[in-house]
Amino acid sequence: MAAPLMLILILAVTIRAALYRSNLADLIAERVEVVSPLTAWKRVVEGLALLDLGVSPYSGDVFHETPLIIYLFHFVVDYAEITFMLADVLTAVALYKAVKEYNKQVFRKQKFALEADRYPLDCLELIRTPKEMYYIPLKVATFYLLNPFTILSCVAKSTCALNNAVIALFFLATIKGNVLLSAIFLALATYQSIYPLSLCAPALLYFMQRQYIPVNYRRASFWWFLTQYAFIYLGSLFIIVGLSFFLLGSWDYLQSVYGFILSVPDLTPNIGLFWYFFAEMFEHFRLFFLFVFQINVFFYTLPLSIKLKDHPVFLMFMQLAVISIFKSYPTVGDVALYLAFIPVWSHLHRFLRNIFLVACVLLACSALFPVLWHLWIYAGSANSNFYYAITLLFNVAQILLVSDYFHAFLRREHHLSYGLYLKRKDGSEATLVLK
């Protein structure tokens, strides 16, 4: 498998290098779907210029990335293109290794369940085979590296690529069972954009399942492990925040980074749900609806964790999707990360209901983004309503995609427990309805 992966990596790097040398690079770097006020490379360059002049990069309202990012590029700014390509390669390799390890665990559990006769006889066709699972890690790496969304983010030098790399390393450390590295990478991801905090729930559930710790509030082992993970996570976060203060010499970045993410003062159009709504919002309602919109990312964590407590990896996929849909400044790079996990759930395709329609809508929206932007900004024959309409449709399609996979996953698990061909008491065929 190493040779095909290497070929994919070489192809992905070649495509990116060619686009960096083309006339499209500057055009892509300006696209509002690809970069946001948080992740735009030109804002990083502005911050570096201020830093070189001895002025705090957070003294204005231009730079909103974290101090570690700006000090990273302070040393590697001349190799920025290589840095972003390496970030994509690192993300793909981490996902490849993580999915490969996860498939081994799935096959092992499935083998034990078969030996124990836990599956009904009529659902053996739902059992995953080694041949079916063999190429999934390569497909995941390919889905990430050759996804146009990922390529555009890399060519635009969006710092979203670095965030994705950190989350991928967190996923790998979690799947490998390394509690220390998992907590450290989760702290680093939270430091970058706050929202990955919701990934703490699937990580804890995964480790408890791996170490045979029951999710029971009355058990001391539950609280002991929870305290251990929280201590490592919060300790790592405290060290990273302290290091940022040491490098910068002030706490200005807290308001400029996290205050900016949470209060959403910049209403530059993007593929998210915030900008148009708050542009039309009366000021005295702003705080209330800001709270409502921001809580969306975290609101679904508890019910999903309860429903998927035995399936923490699928829960992690769901949480990544929720973050990319409901965060305040999303880009296509965020969407590309959770879409890379689609091959992992290829066994759910027979239970999907709207996959063709949703895929067509996502493709159509992706093509219409630049068209409606041109009609609005340059041709003047459209307005913001047109662009927000396609943005809204894009997010609805994502929600339908995720909910369809959620339904398919639950349906397959139900069939594995009760059989594929359900019968009523009178012997006639029954229809499964999930509510």
| Residue tagged 């700006």 (tokens) | 70
Q: What is the structure's pLDDT at 271?
A: 94
Backbone φ and ψ of 100, nearest 5°: -60, -45
Buried b (16+ CB within 10 A) or exposed e, 341-354: bbbbbebbeebbee
Distances in Å between the alpha carbon of 243 and those of 177, 210, 224, 236, 308?
27, 33, 28, 10, 36
Residue-range domain boundaries for the chain:
1-346
The letter for the amino acid at 386 is F
Q: pLDDT (tens digit, 9 = 90+) per residue, 391-401?
A: 999 999 999 99
Give the residue-averaged pLDDT of 169-195.
95
Which two tokens mark 156? 């635009």
How far apart are the C-alpha atoms of 66 and 131, rounded to whole Å?
Answer: 44
Chain-centre distance for alpha carbon 257 = 19
pLDDT for 389 beyond 70:
yes
How far apart are the C-alpha atoms of 71 and 80, rounded to whole Å?
Answer: 13
pLDDT for 410 beyond 90:
yes
How far apart are the C-alpha atoms of 205 and 175, rounded to whole Å?
Answer: 12
pLDDT for 260 beyond 70:
yes
Q: pLDDT (tens digit, 9 = 90+) per residue, 360-371?
A: 999 999 999 999
How far apart are the C-alpha atoms of 256 and 66, rounded to whole Å?
Answer: 9
Q: 268 CB contacts (<8 Å, ≥6 apart)? A: 32, 36, 37, 275
Band of pLDDT at residue 404, cut at 50, 70 and 90: very high
Q: What is the structure's pLDDT at 342?
A: 95
How far apart are the C-alpha atoms of 75 and 415, rounded to whole Å?
Answer: 55
Q: What is the structure's pLDDT at 7?
A: 94
pLDDT for 130 beyond 70:
yes
Q: What is the structure's pLDDT at 243?
A: 94
Q: pLDDT (tens digit, 9 = 90+) per residue, 46-77?
A: 999 999 888 889 988 889 999 999 999 999 99
